[in-house]
Structure 1
Amino acid sequence: MGDRTLVELPRMPAAGPLYRRAVLGALPGLGGGRRATDLPAVELATGGVSVDRAHLADYDRVCGFRLTDRLPATFPHVMGFPLTLRLMTAPEFPIPLTGVVHVGNRITVHRPITADETLDFTTYAQDLRPHDRGRQVDVVLVGSVGGEEIWRGVSTYLGRERTSGGGTRGERLEAPAATARWRVEPRVGTGYARVSGDHNPIHTSRLGARLFGFRRPIAHGMWSKARCLAALESRLPDAYTVEVAFKLPVPLPSTVSFALLPDGGFALHDSRGRPHLAGLLH
Protein backbone atom coordinates (compact mmCIF):
# COMPACT_ATOMS: atom_id res chain seq x y z
CA MET A 1 0.00 0.00 0.00
CA GLY A 2 2.99 2.27 -0.52
CA ASP A 3 3.51 4.91 2.17
CA ARG A 4 0.08 4.58 3.77
CA THR A 5 -0.10 3.77 7.48
CA LEU A 6 -2.45 0.91 8.40
CA VAL A 7 -4.92 1.82 11.15
CA GLU A 8 -6.97 -1.12 12.46
CA LEU A 9 -10.31 -0.33 14.07
CA PRO A 10 -11.80 -2.74 16.63
CA ARG A 11 -15.24 -2.59 15.01
CA MET A 12 -17.12 -1.02 12.13
CA PRO A 13 -17.79 2.67 12.93
CA ALA A 14 -21.32 3.99 13.42
CA ALA A 15 -22.44 6.07 10.45
CA GLY A 16 -24.71 8.52 12.33
CA PRO A 17 -22.02 10.38 14.32
CA LEU A 18 -19.83 10.57 11.22
CA TYR A 19 -22.59 12.33 9.27
CA ARG A 20 -23.11 14.75 12.15
CA ARG A 21 -19.37 15.46 12.16
CA ALA A 22 -19.48 16.16 8.41
CA VAL A 23 -22.39 18.60 8.75
CA LEU A 24 -20.80 20.44 11.68
CA GLY A 25 -17.49 20.56 9.86
CA ALA A 26 -19.14 22.40 6.98
CA LEU A 27 -20.33 25.23 9.24
CA PRO A 28 -18.16 28.36 9.55
CA GLY A 29 -16.28 28.44 12.81
CA LEU A 30 -16.90 24.74 13.52
CA GLY A 31 -14.25 23.14 11.41
CA GLY A 32 -15.12 24.44 7.96
CA GLY A 33 -12.72 26.33 5.78
CA ARG A 34 -9.64 25.25 3.88
CA ARG A 35 -9.11 21.55 3.27
CA ALA A 36 -5.94 19.51 2.90
CA THR A 37 -4.32 19.62 -0.51
CA ASP A 38 -3.29 15.96 -0.54
CA LEU A 39 -4.74 12.58 0.42
CA PRO A 40 -4.42 11.16 3.93
CA ALA A 41 -1.58 8.62 3.99
CA VAL A 42 -3.69 6.11 5.87
CA GLU A 43 -5.49 2.83 5.23
CA LEU A 44 -8.32 1.92 7.58
CA ALA A 45 -9.15 -1.70 8.33
CA THR A 46 -11.62 -3.67 10.39
CA GLY A 47 -12.24 -7.39 10.53
CA GLY A 48 -14.89 -9.92 11.40
CA VAL A 49 -17.83 -8.19 9.74
CA SER A 50 -20.72 -10.64 9.52
CA VAL A 51 -23.90 -10.44 7.44
CA ASP A 52 -27.14 -9.57 9.21
CA ARG A 53 -29.64 -11.70 7.25
CA ALA A 54 -32.59 -9.44 8.10
CA HIS A 55 -30.59 -6.46 6.84
CA LEU A 56 -29.69 -8.37 3.68
CA ALA A 57 -33.34 -9.26 3.04
CA ASP A 58 -34.41 -5.64 3.59
CA TYR A 59 -31.69 -4.47 1.18
CA ASP A 60 -32.79 -7.04 -1.42
CA ARG A 61 -36.39 -5.81 -1.23
CA VAL A 62 -35.47 -2.11 -1.55
CA CYS A 63 -33.22 -2.76 -4.57
CA GLY A 64 -35.29 -5.44 -6.33
CA PHE A 65 -33.05 -8.49 -5.82
CA ARG A 66 -34.33 -12.00 -5.17
CA LEU A 67 -34.20 -13.05 -1.51
CA THR A 68 -31.26 -15.48 -1.36
CA ASP A 69 -28.19 -16.15 0.79
CA ARG A 70 -25.94 -14.99 -2.04
CA LEU A 71 -24.85 -11.39 -1.61
CA PRO A 72 -25.60 -8.96 -4.45
CA ALA A 73 -22.41 -7.40 -5.82
CA THR A 74 -23.41 -4.06 -4.32
CA PHE A 75 -24.06 -5.34 -0.78
CA PRO A 76 -20.41 -5.41 0.43
CA HIS A 77 -20.32 -1.71 -0.50
CA VAL A 78 -23.06 -1.20 2.10
CA MET A 79 -21.34 -3.45 4.64
CA GLY A 80 -18.10 -1.46 4.40
CA PHE A 81 -19.65 1.97 3.86
CA PRO A 82 -19.17 3.20 7.46
CA LEU A 83 -15.44 2.50 7.12
CA THR A 84 -15.19 4.63 3.97
CA LEU A 85 -17.33 7.27 5.68
CA ARG A 86 -14.81 7.36 8.54
CA LEU A 87 -12.05 7.96 6.01
CA MET A 88 -13.95 10.68 4.14
CA THR A 89 -15.02 12.60 7.27
CA ALA A 90 -11.49 12.82 8.68
CA PRO A 91 -10.24 16.44 8.96
CA GLU A 92 -7.30 15.64 6.67
CA PHE A 93 -9.52 14.37 3.82
CA PRO A 94 -9.20 16.95 1.00
CA ILE A 95 -12.87 17.01 -0.12
CA PRO A 96 -15.71 17.81 2.31
CA LEU A 97 -18.42 15.15 2.46
CA THR A 98 -21.26 17.68 2.33
CA GLY A 99 -22.10 18.38 -1.29
CA VAL A 100 -19.81 15.66 -2.68
CA VAL A 101 -21.09 14.01 -5.88
CA HIS A 102 -20.71 10.29 -6.54
CA VAL A 103 -19.83 10.21 -10.25
CA GLY A 104 -18.71 6.62 -10.81
CA ASN A 105 -18.40 3.18 -9.25
CA ARG A 106 -16.60 0.00 -10.28
CA ILE A 107 -17.09 -3.31 -8.48
CA THR A 108 -15.17 -6.55 -9.06
CA VAL A 109 -16.57 -9.78 -7.66
CA HIS A 110 -13.90 -12.49 -7.64
CA ARG A 111 -16.27 -15.26 -6.54
CA PRO A 112 -19.77 -15.64 -5.10
CA ILE A 113 -20.12 -14.47 -1.48
CA THR A 114 -22.69 -16.03 0.83
CA ALA A 115 -24.42 -14.71 3.92
CA ASP A 116 -22.63 -17.14 6.27
CA GLU A 117 -19.20 -15.66 5.47
CA THR A 118 -17.40 -13.10 7.64
CA LEU A 119 -15.54 -10.35 5.78
CA ASP A 120 -12.56 -8.17 6.58
CA PHE A 121 -12.53 -4.68 5.04
CA THR A 122 -9.84 -2.15 4.21
CA THR A 123 -10.27 1.28 2.64
CA TYR A 124 -8.02 4.02 1.33
CA ALA A 125 -8.12 6.97 -1.08
CA GLN A 126 -6.07 7.37 -4.24
CA ASP A 127 -5.62 9.48 -7.36
CA LEU A 128 -6.70 12.95 -6.25
CA ARG A 129 -6.94 14.85 -9.53
CA PRO A 130 -8.33 18.07 -10.98
CA HIS A 131 -11.70 18.23 -12.74
CA ASP A 132 -13.26 21.10 -14.63
CA ARG A 133 -15.78 21.49 -11.78
CA GLY A 134 -13.41 20.86 -8.88
CA ARG A 135 -11.43 17.79 -7.80
CA GLN A 136 -12.04 14.05 -8.06
CA VAL A 137 -10.80 11.22 -5.87
CA ASP A 138 -11.12 7.44 -5.88
CA VAL A 139 -12.06 5.72 -2.62
CA VAL A 140 -11.15 2.02 -2.65
CA LEU A 141 -12.90 -0.56 -0.46
CA VAL A 142 -11.60 -4.15 -0.40
CA GLY A 143 -13.41 -7.14 1.10
CA SER A 144 -11.43 -10.26 2.03
CA VAL A 145 -12.09 -13.67 3.55
CA GLY A 146 -9.23 -15.54 5.20
CA GLY A 147 -6.68 -13.13 3.76
CA GLU A 148 -7.95 -13.56 0.18
CA GLU A 149 -9.47 -10.61 -1.67
CA ILE A 150 -12.91 -11.61 -2.91
CA TRP A 151 -14.48 -8.20 -3.62
CA ARG A 152 -13.24 -4.73 -4.57
CA GLY A 153 -15.14 -1.49 -5.03
CA VAL A 154 -13.80 1.81 -6.34
CA SER A 155 -16.03 4.87 -5.93
CA THR A 156 -15.16 8.09 -7.72
CA TYR A 157 -16.28 11.28 -5.98
CA LEU A 158 -16.33 14.84 -7.24
CA GLY A 159 -15.84 17.72 -4.87
CA ARG A 160 -17.41 20.72 -6.58
CA GLU A 161 -15.28 23.84 -6.25
CA ARG A 162 -16.19 25.79 -9.38
CA THR A 163 -19.28 26.02 -11.56
CA SER A 164 -17.53 27.15 -14.72
CA GLY A 165 -16.23 24.75 -17.34
CA GLY A 166 -17.73 22.20 -19.66
CA GLY A 167 -18.74 18.64 -18.93
CA THR A 168 -21.18 16.17 -20.36
CA ARG A 169 -23.33 15.45 -17.31
CA GLY A 170 -26.46 16.77 -18.99
CA GLU A 171 -25.72 15.79 -22.55
CA ARG A 172 -28.60 14.45 -24.63
CA LEU A 173 -27.92 11.15 -26.35
CA GLU A 174 -29.87 8.88 -28.64
CA ALA A 175 -31.64 6.77 -26.02
CA PRO A 176 -31.58 2.99 -26.56
CA ALA A 177 -34.86 1.09 -26.70
CA ALA A 178 -36.21 0.46 -23.22
CA THR A 179 -36.15 -3.09 -21.86
CA ALA A 180 -38.18 -2.03 -18.82
CA ARG A 181 -39.64 1.07 -17.20
CA TRP A 182 -39.65 1.65 -13.47
CA ARG A 183 -41.55 4.11 -11.34
CA VAL A 184 -39.17 5.44 -8.69
CA GLU A 185 -41.16 6.68 -5.71
CA PRO A 186 -39.94 8.98 -2.89
CA ARG A 187 -39.78 6.00 -0.53
CA VAL A 188 -36.74 4.80 -2.50
CA GLY A 189 -34.72 7.64 -0.98
CA THR A 190 -35.67 6.90 2.63
CA GLY A 191 -35.68 3.13 2.09
CA TYR A 192 -32.19 3.04 0.62
CA ALA A 193 -30.91 5.41 3.32
CA ARG A 194 -32.19 2.95 5.91
CA VAL A 195 -30.57 -0.14 4.40
CA SER A 196 -27.32 1.55 3.30
CA GLY A 197 -26.57 3.91 6.18
CA ASP A 198 -26.17 6.74 3.63
CA HIS A 199 -28.38 9.43 5.17
CA ASN A 200 -27.27 12.33 3.00
CA PRO A 201 -30.29 14.70 3.13
CA ILE A 202 -30.25 15.27 -0.65
CA HIS A 203 -31.86 11.81 -0.88
CA THR A 204 -34.38 12.01 1.94
CA SER A 205 -35.46 15.63 2.44
CA ARG A 206 -36.92 18.24 0.11
CA LEU A 207 -35.28 20.97 2.17
CA GLY A 208 -31.96 19.11 2.25
CA ALA A 209 -32.09 18.64 -1.50
CA ARG A 210 -32.80 22.34 -2.09
CA LEU A 211 -29.85 23.35 0.10
CA PHE A 212 -27.60 21.58 -2.40
CA GLY A 213 -29.27 22.86 -5.54
CA PHE A 214 -31.86 20.15 -6.28
CA ARG A 215 -35.54 20.99 -6.59
CA ARG A 216 -36.51 17.71 -4.95
CA PRO A 217 -34.75 14.70 -3.41
CA ILE A 218 -32.76 12.43 -5.72
CA ALA A 219 -32.19 8.68 -5.64
CA HIS A 220 -28.86 7.37 -4.39
CA GLY A 221 -26.55 6.49 -7.25
CA MET A 222 -25.79 3.13 -5.67
CA TRP A 223 -29.51 2.35 -5.52
CA SER A 224 -29.68 2.97 -9.28
CA LYS A 225 -26.71 0.65 -9.84
CA ALA A 226 -28.18 -2.03 -7.58
CA ARG A 227 -31.58 -1.80 -9.27
CA CYS A 228 -29.94 -2.32 -12.68
CA LEU A 229 -27.98 -5.32 -11.38
CA ALA A 230 -31.20 -6.77 -9.97
CA ALA A 231 -32.66 -6.61 -13.47
CA LEU A 232 -29.57 -8.47 -14.75
CA GLU A 233 -29.48 -10.97 -11.87
CA SER A 234 -30.18 -14.09 -13.94
CA ARG A 235 -27.40 -13.17 -16.42
CA LEU A 236 -24.57 -12.58 -13.95
CA PRO A 237 -21.58 -14.99 -13.89
CA ASP A 238 -19.81 -16.05 -10.70
CA ALA A 239 -16.96 -13.56 -11.24
CA TYR A 240 -17.25 -10.23 -13.05
CA THR A 241 -16.63 -6.50 -13.00
CA VAL A 242 -19.45 -4.00 -13.30
CA GLU A 243 -18.74 -0.30 -13.70
CA VAL A 244 -21.11 2.62 -13.98
CA ALA A 245 -20.91 6.34 -14.62
CA PHE A 246 -23.59 8.37 -12.86
CA LYS A 247 -24.97 11.06 -15.14
CA LEU A 248 -28.09 13.12 -14.39
CA PRO A 249 -29.62 12.52 -10.93
CA VAL A 250 -32.88 10.55 -10.68
CA PRO A 251 -35.41 12.92 -9.09
CA LEU A 252 -37.96 11.46 -6.67
CA PRO A 253 -40.54 10.64 -7.87
CA SER A 254 -39.92 9.91 -11.55
CA THR A 255 -40.18 7.22 -14.21
CA VAL A 256 -36.96 5.80 -15.65
CA SER A 257 -36.23 3.48 -18.58
CA PHE A 258 -33.74 0.62 -18.32
CA ALA A 259 -32.06 -0.67 -21.48
CA LEU A 260 -29.78 -3.61 -22.24
CA LEU A 261 -27.10 -2.94 -24.84
CA PRO A 262 -25.56 -5.56 -27.16
CA ASP A 263 -21.97 -5.06 -25.96
CA GLY A 264 -22.58 -5.98 -22.32
CA GLY A 265 -23.61 -2.45 -21.48
CA PHE A 266 -26.76 -1.16 -19.88
CA ALA A 267 -28.29 2.26 -19.36
CA LEU A 268 -30.86 4.15 -17.37
CA HIS A 269 -32.47 7.26 -18.84
CA ASP A 270 -35.42 9.56 -18.29
CA SER A 271 -38.59 9.99 -20.33
CA ARG A 272 -36.85 12.58 -22.54
CA GLY A 273 -33.96 10.25 -23.34
CA ARG A 274 -31.43 11.95 -21.09
CA PRO A 275 -29.01 9.57 -19.33
CA HIS A 276 -29.07 8.84 -15.62
CA LEU A 277 -26.55 6.00 -15.67
CA ALA A 278 -24.28 4.26 -18.17
CA GLY A 279 -22.97 0.84 -17.21
CA LEU A 280 -20.79 -1.98 -18.49
CA LEU A 281 -20.58 -5.59 -17.34
CA HIS A 282 -17.46 -7.60 -18.19
Structure 2
Amino acid sequence: MENVLTEMPSLSKLYVNAAATAAMKRLARSVPVVALPTRALEVRGVTADLAKLTAFAHLLGKPARDVLPSGYIHALAFPVAMGVMVQDDFPLPLLGMVHLRNQVDHYAAVRFTDVLTIRAWARDLAGHRAGTQVQLVVEVRNSDGTALLWRGVSTYLAKGIYLPGLDKPSPRPAGAQREPFSAPQPTAQWRLGVDTGRAYAAVSGDFNPIHLSVLSAKALGLRRSIAHGMYAASRVVSDIGSPKPEAFSWDIAFEAPIFLPATVSVHIADTRADDGGWLGSEFTAWNARSARVHFRGSVTAGTTQP
Protein backbone atom coordinates (compact mmCIF):
# COMPACT_ATOMS: atom_id res chain seq x y z
CA MET A 1 0.00 0.00 0.00
CA GLU A 2 1.22 3.51 -0.73
CA ASN A 3 0.12 7.09 -0.50
CA VAL A 4 0.86 8.90 -3.77
CA LEU A 5 1.72 12.56 -3.31
CA THR A 6 1.10 15.15 -6.02
CA GLU A 7 4.40 16.96 -5.39
CA MET A 8 7.66 16.66 -3.48
CA PRO A 9 7.33 17.50 0.22
CA SER A 10 8.98 20.72 1.39
CA LEU A 11 11.85 19.93 3.76
CA SER A 12 11.51 23.24 5.57
CA LYS A 13 7.81 22.61 6.24
CA LEU A 14 8.58 19.05 7.32
CA TYR A 15 11.08 20.28 9.91
CA VAL A 16 8.56 22.82 11.22
CA ASN A 17 5.93 20.08 11.44
CA ALA A 18 8.41 17.78 13.19
CA ALA A 19 9.14 20.44 15.82
CA ALA A 20 5.42 21.08 16.38
CA THR A 21 4.64 17.37 16.62
CA ALA A 22 7.44 16.84 19.14
CA ALA A 23 6.14 19.68 21.30
CA MET A 24 2.57 18.35 21.19
CA LYS A 25 3.68 14.83 22.14
CA ARG A 26 5.68 16.19 25.09
CA LEU A 27 2.61 18.06 26.33
CA ALA A 28 0.24 15.16 25.75
CA ARG A 29 2.63 12.58 27.21
CA SER A 30 0.76 9.93 25.28
CA VAL A 31 1.71 6.25 25.36
CA PRO A 32 4.23 5.69 22.52
CA VAL A 33 3.18 3.54 19.58
CA VAL A 34 5.63 0.72 18.93
CA ALA A 35 4.88 0.19 15.25
CA LEU A 36 5.82 1.73 11.92
CA PRO A 37 3.52 3.34 9.33
CA THR A 38 2.06 0.67 7.06
CA ARG A 39 1.93 2.87 3.96
CA ALA A 40 4.79 3.90 1.70
CA LEU A 41 4.96 7.40 0.23
CA GLU A 42 5.43 7.86 -3.50
CA VAL A 43 6.02 10.89 -5.69
CA ARG A 44 5.96 10.71 -9.50
CA GLY A 45 7.29 13.09 -12.12
CA VAL A 46 10.39 14.14 -10.15
CA THR A 47 13.30 15.82 -11.96
CA ALA A 48 16.62 17.21 -10.77
CA ASP A 49 17.12 20.92 -10.22
CA LEU A 50 20.03 21.81 -12.50
CA ALA A 51 21.20 24.75 -10.38
CA LYS A 52 21.19 22.68 -7.18
CA LEU A 53 22.86 19.77 -8.96
CA THR A 54 25.65 22.07 -10.13
CA ALA A 55 26.07 23.59 -6.65
CA PHE A 56 26.10 20.09 -5.11
CA ALA A 57 28.90 18.94 -7.42
CA HIS A 58 30.92 22.10 -6.79
CA LEU A 59 30.57 21.71 -3.01
CA LEU A 60 32.21 18.29 -3.37
CA GLY A 61 34.96 19.83 -5.49
CA LYS A 62 33.76 18.18 -8.69
CA PRO A 63 32.59 19.53 -12.05
CA ALA A 64 28.89 19.25 -12.81
CA ARG A 65 27.93 16.42 -15.18
CA ASP A 66 24.70 15.31 -16.79
CA VAL A 67 24.82 12.08 -14.73
CA LEU A 68 23.59 12.56 -11.17
CA PRO A 69 26.09 11.72 -8.39
CA SER A 70 24.86 8.92 -6.17
CA GLY A 71 24.89 11.21 -3.13
CA TYR A 72 22.79 13.79 -4.97
CA ILE A 73 20.15 11.14 -5.70
CA HIS A 74 19.91 10.54 -1.95
CA ALA A 75 19.44 14.28 -1.39
CA LEU A 76 16.86 14.49 -4.19
CA ALA A 77 14.84 11.61 -2.70
CA PHE A 78 15.31 12.55 0.97
CA PRO A 79 12.12 14.66 1.28
CA VAL A 80 10.04 11.56 0.49
CA ALA A 81 11.83 9.54 3.19
CA MET A 82 11.42 12.41 5.61
CA GLY A 83 7.73 12.53 4.75
CA VAL A 84 7.49 9.00 6.14
CA MET A 85 9.23 10.05 9.36
CA VAL A 86 6.86 12.95 10.12
CA GLN A 87 3.65 10.96 9.78
CA ASP A 88 1.50 10.99 12.91
CA ASP A 89 1.96 7.25 13.38
CA PHE A 90 5.76 7.30 13.07
CA PRO A 91 6.95 6.36 16.59
CA LEU A 92 10.26 8.27 16.75
CA PRO A 93 11.01 12.01 16.84
CA LEU A 94 12.64 13.27 13.66
CA LEU A 95 14.62 16.09 15.26
CA GLY A 96 17.95 14.90 16.64
CA MET A 97 17.91 11.66 14.64
CA VAL A 98 21.45 10.64 13.66
CA HIS A 99 22.82 8.48 10.87
CA LEU A 100 24.25 5.05 11.66
CA ARG A 101 24.65 3.58 8.18
CA ASN A 102 23.84 3.94 4.49
CA GLN A 103 23.72 1.08 2.00
CA VAL A 104 23.16 2.02 -1.64
CA ASP A 105 22.77 0.00 -4.82
CA HIS A 106 23.17 2.20 -7.88
CA TYR A 107 21.79 0.12 -10.77
CA ALA A 108 22.02 2.52 -13.72
CA ALA A 109 23.10 6.00 -14.69
CA VAL A 110 20.51 8.63 -13.81
CA ARG A 111 20.65 11.81 -15.91
CA PHE A 112 19.40 15.24 -14.95
CA THR A 113 16.80 15.09 -17.74
CA ASP A 114 15.27 11.83 -16.46
CA VAL A 115 11.77 11.91 -15.02
CA LEU A 116 11.71 9.79 -11.88
CA THR A 117 9.35 8.02 -9.50
CA ILE A 118 10.49 7.99 -5.85
CA ARG A 119 9.04 5.68 -3.22
CA ALA A 120 9.98 5.45 0.49
CA TRP A 121 8.93 3.41 3.50
CA ALA A 122 10.15 2.51 7.00
CA ARG A 123 11.15 -0.92 8.28
CA ASP A 124 13.04 -2.76 11.03
CA LEU A 125 12.25 -0.79 14.16
CA ALA A 126 14.70 -2.14 16.74
CA GLY A 127 16.28 -1.43 20.08
CA HIS A 128 19.79 -0.01 20.27
CA ARG A 129 22.00 0.36 23.34
CA ALA A 130 21.78 4.16 22.90
CA GLY A 131 18.10 4.39 21.94
CA THR A 132 15.97 3.07 19.08
CA GLN A 133 16.96 2.57 15.46
CA VAL A 134 14.95 2.34 12.27
CA GLN A 135 15.62 1.89 8.56
CA LEU A 136 14.22 4.05 5.77
CA VAL A 137 14.19 2.46 2.33
CA VAL A 138 14.09 4.64 -0.79
CA GLU A 139 13.70 3.41 -4.35
CA VAL A 140 14.21 5.61 -7.41
CA ARG A 141 12.65 4.31 -10.63
CA ASN A 142 12.05 5.58 -14.14
CA SER A 143 8.94 7.62 -14.92
CA ASP A 144 6.55 4.69 -15.26
CA GLY A 145 8.08 2.77 -12.34
CA THR A 146 9.17 -0.24 -14.39
CA ALA A 147 12.96 0.08 -14.00
CA LEU A 148 14.72 0.32 -10.63
CA LEU A 149 17.62 2.78 -10.98
CA TRP A 150 18.79 3.38 -7.40
CA ARG A 151 17.96 1.94 -3.99
CA GLY A 152 19.15 3.24 -0.63
CA VAL A 153 18.69 1.92 2.90
CA SER A 154 19.43 4.48 5.62
CA THR A 155 19.68 3.40 9.27
CA TYR A 156 18.90 6.12 11.81
CA LEU A 157 19.17 6.29 15.59
CA ALA A 158 16.79 8.17 17.87
CA LYS A 159 19.26 8.67 20.69
CA GLY A 160 17.86 8.35 24.20
CA ILE A 161 14.44 7.16 22.99
CA TYR A 162 13.57 3.72 24.35
CA LEU A 163 10.27 2.24 23.20
CA PRO A 164 8.53 -0.35 25.36
CA GLY A 165 8.72 -3.94 24.18
CA LEU A 166 11.81 -3.54 22.03
CA ASP A 167 14.83 -5.58 23.04
CA LYS A 168 18.08 -3.66 23.09
CA PRO A 169 21.63 -4.97 22.96
CA SER A 170 23.51 -5.23 26.21
CA PRO A 171 25.50 -2.09 27.02
CA ARG A 172 29.23 -2.19 26.48
CA PRO A 173 30.83 -3.51 29.71
CA ALA A 174 32.38 -0.86 31.93
CA GLY A 175 36.03 -0.45 31.08
CA ALA A 176 35.69 -2.31 27.76
CA GLN A 177 38.11 -1.01 25.17
CA ARG A 178 37.24 -0.15 21.61
CA GLU A 179 38.99 -2.10 18.92
CA PRO A 180 42.36 -0.37 18.48
CA PHE A 181 42.70 1.74 15.35
CA SER A 182 46.06 2.12 13.69
CA ALA A 183 45.78 5.06 11.33
CA PRO A 184 47.09 4.35 7.82
CA GLN A 185 48.82 6.94 5.68
CA PRO A 186 46.13 9.44 4.62
CA THR A 187 45.40 9.74 0.92
CA ALA A 188 43.48 12.99 1.52
CA GLN A 189 42.74 15.46 4.27
CA TRP A 190 39.54 17.44 4.57
CA ARG A 191 39.52 20.77 6.37
CA LEU A 192 35.92 21.46 7.26
CA GLY A 193 34.89 24.89 8.46
CA VAL A 194 32.14 25.66 10.95
CA ASP A 195 29.88 26.52 7.99
CA THR A 196 30.16 23.06 6.39
CA GLY A 197 26.73 21.99 7.66
CA ARG A 198 25.06 25.16 6.37
CA ALA A 199 26.80 24.82 2.99
CA TYR A 200 25.53 21.26 2.53
CA ALA A 201 22.05 22.29 3.71
CA ALA A 202 21.97 25.00 1.05
CA VAL A 203 22.57 22.53 -1.81
CA SER A 204 20.59 19.58 -0.41
CA GLY A 205 17.71 21.35 1.31
CA ASP A 206 18.38 19.38 4.52
CA PHE A 207 18.32 22.04 7.24
CA ASN A 208 18.44 19.70 10.22
CA PRO A 209 19.30 21.96 13.22
CA ILE A 210 22.08 19.65 14.46
CA HIS A 211 24.14 20.70 11.43
CA LEU A 212 23.53 24.43 11.29
CA SER A 213 25.03 26.18 14.32
CA VAL A 214 26.33 25.69 17.83
CA LEU A 215 23.10 27.07 19.32
CA SER A 216 20.73 24.91 17.26
CA ALA A 217 22.87 21.81 17.87
CA LYS A 218 22.99 22.45 21.65
CA ALA A 219 19.21 22.74 21.69
CA LEU A 220 19.14 19.11 20.56
CA GLY A 221 21.76 17.87 23.01
CA LEU A 222 25.01 18.20 21.03
CA ARG A 223 27.96 20.29 22.16
CA ARG A 224 28.60 21.69 18.66
CA SER A 225 27.14 21.36 15.19
CA ILE A 226 28.17 18.29 13.21
CA ALA A 227 28.74 17.63 9.53
CA HIS A 228 25.94 15.90 7.64
CA GLY A 229 26.57 12.19 7.31
CA MET A 230 25.47 12.39 3.69
CA TYR A 231 27.93 15.19 3.00
CA ALA A 232 30.73 12.88 4.17
CA ALA A 233 29.29 9.91 2.27
CA SER A 234 28.77 11.89 -0.95
CA ARG A 235 32.24 13.37 -0.80
CA VAL A 236 34.14 10.15 -0.15
CA VAL A 237 32.18 8.21 -2.81
CA SER A 238 32.86 10.98 -5.33
CA ASP A 239 36.56 10.93 -4.34
CA ILE A 240 37.02 7.28 -5.35
CA GLY A 241 39.65 7.89 -8.00
CA SER A 242 38.98 5.03 -10.38
CA PRO A 243 36.15 5.42 -12.88
CA LYS A 244 33.05 3.68 -11.52
CA PRO A 245 30.82 1.68 -13.84
CA GLU A 246 27.19 2.68 -14.21
CA ALA A 247 26.23 -0.09 -11.78
CA PHE A 248 27.94 -0.06 -8.38
CA SER A 249 27.20 -0.32 -4.67
CA TRP A 250 28.43 1.58 -1.66
CA ASP A 251 28.16 1.13 2.06
CA ILE A 252 29.15 3.53 4.84
CA ALA A 253 28.97 3.08 8.62
CA PHE A 254 29.23 6.14 10.87
CA GLU A 255 31.12 5.63 14.12
CA ALA A 256 31.64 9.12 15.56
CA PRO A 257 30.21 12.50 14.58
CA ILE A 258 32.37 15.10 12.87
CA PHE A 259 32.11 18.12 15.17
CA LEU A 260 32.75 21.35 13.27
CA PRO A 261 35.22 22.80 12.56
CA ALA A 262 37.31 19.69 11.92
CA THR A 263 40.28 18.23 10.11
CA VAL A 264 39.44 14.78 8.78
CA SER A 265 42.05 12.36 7.46
CA VAL A 266 40.86 9.97 4.74
CA HIS A 267 42.42 6.78 3.41
CA ILE A 268 41.11 5.17 0.19
CA ALA A 269 42.51 1.80 -0.93
CA ASP A 270 41.62 0.44 -4.38
CA THR A 271 41.28 -3.21 -5.35
CA ARG A 272 42.12 -4.07 -8.95
CA ALA A 273 41.84 -7.09 -11.21
CA ASP A 274 44.89 -8.71 -12.81
CA ASP A 275 44.33 -6.59 -15.92
CA GLY A 276 44.32 -3.40 -13.84
CA GLY A 277 40.57 -2.91 -13.97
CA TRP A 278 38.94 -1.35 -10.91
CA LEU A 279 36.97 -3.76 -8.72
CA GLY A 280 36.28 -1.60 -5.70
CA SER A 281 37.66 0.60 -2.94
CA GLU A 282 37.61 0.62 0.83
CA PHE A 283 37.77 3.86 2.79
CA THR A 284 38.28 5.04 6.36
CA ALA A 285 38.09 8.55 7.79
CA TRP A 286 39.26 9.69 11.21
CA ASN A 287 39.93 12.77 13.29
CA ALA A 288 43.40 13.96 12.39
CA ARG A 289 44.17 14.97 15.99
CA SER A 290 42.53 12.28 18.14
CA ALA A 291 42.65 9.39 15.62
CA ARG A 292 39.04 8.58 16.44
CA VAL A 293 37.31 6.94 13.47
CA HIS A 294 34.44 8.94 11.98
CA PHE A 295 33.29 6.49 9.33
CA ARG A 296 34.40 3.61 7.14
CA GLY A 297 32.97 1.74 4.18
CA SER A 298 33.41 0.53 0.64
CA VAL A 299 32.45 1.05 -2.99
CA THR A 300 32.22 -2.02 -5.22
CA ALA A 301 31.74 -2.46 -8.96
CA GLY A 302 28.63 -4.07 -10.30
CA THR A 303 25.27 -4.75 -8.70
CA THR A 304 22.25 -6.70 -9.91
CA GLN A 305 18.63 -5.74 -9.48
CA PRO A 306 16.61 -7.77 -6.96
Work out whether the TM-score is over 0.5: yes
- Partner of residue 172 from structure 2, selected from 163, 166, 173: 166
Of 115-124 and 230-239, more deviation after overlay is shown by 230-239
Residue type at the aligned position of 1:166: R
Give yes or no for the alignment of 1:8 onto 2:4: yes
Counterpart position of 1:95: 92
Cα displacement string for residues 17-37 of structure 1 (whole angstroms, at most 9, x for unaligned residues): 110111122225556654320
d(CA) in 2 for partners of 1:201, 1:155? 19
Counterpart position of 2:147: 148
Please show how residues 1-282 of structure 1 align to structure 2 within 5 Å: 5-27=1-23, 33-145=30-142, 146=144, 147-161=146-160, 165-166=171-172, 173-232=181-240, 234-261=242-269, 264-271=281-288, 272-282=290-300
Tell me how far 1:220 sits from its aligned partner. Answer: 0.2
- Between the two proteins, the alignment pairs up a number of residues equal to 278
Residue type at the aligned position of 2:67: R
Check whether the contact 1:35–1:92 (CA below 8 A) recurs between aligned residues: no
Structure 1 gaps, min length 5: none
Tell me how far 1:253 sits from its aligned partner. Answer: 0.9
| Secondary structure class of the residue paired with 2:207 | coil
Judged with a 3 Å threshold, the aligned counterparts in structure 2 of structure 1 residues 43 and 252 are, in CA distance, closer, same or farther, namely same
Tell me how far 1:47 sits from its aligned partner. Answer: 0.5
d(CA) in 1 for partners of 2:177, 2:243? 29
Tell me how far 1:169 sits from its aligned partner. Answer: 11
Cα displacement string for residues 95-131 of structure 1 (whole angstroms, at most 9, x for unaligned residues): 1101211111011110111111111000001111111
RMSD of equivalent CA atoms: 2.2
Judged with a 3 Å threshold, the aligned counterparts in structure 2 of structure 1 residues 232 and 33 are, in CA distance, closer, same or farther, namely farther
Check whether the contact 1:189–1:204 (CA below 8 A) recurs between aligned residues: yes
| Secondary structure class of the residue paired with 1:104 | strand
Cα displacement string for residues 24-75 of structure 1 (whole angstroms, at most 9, x for unaligned residues): 2222555665432011101110101011111100111122332111110111
Judged with a 3 Å threshold, the aligned counterparts in structure 2 of structure 1 residues 149 and 32 are, in CA distance, closer, same or farther, namely farther
| Secondary structure class of the residue paired with 1:27 | helix
Structure 2 gaps, min length 5: 163-169, 272-280, 301-306
Residue type at the aligned position of 1:276: H
Cα displacement string for residues 219-260 of structure 1 (whole angstroms, at most 9, x for unaligned residues): 000000011012115432221110100111111111101101
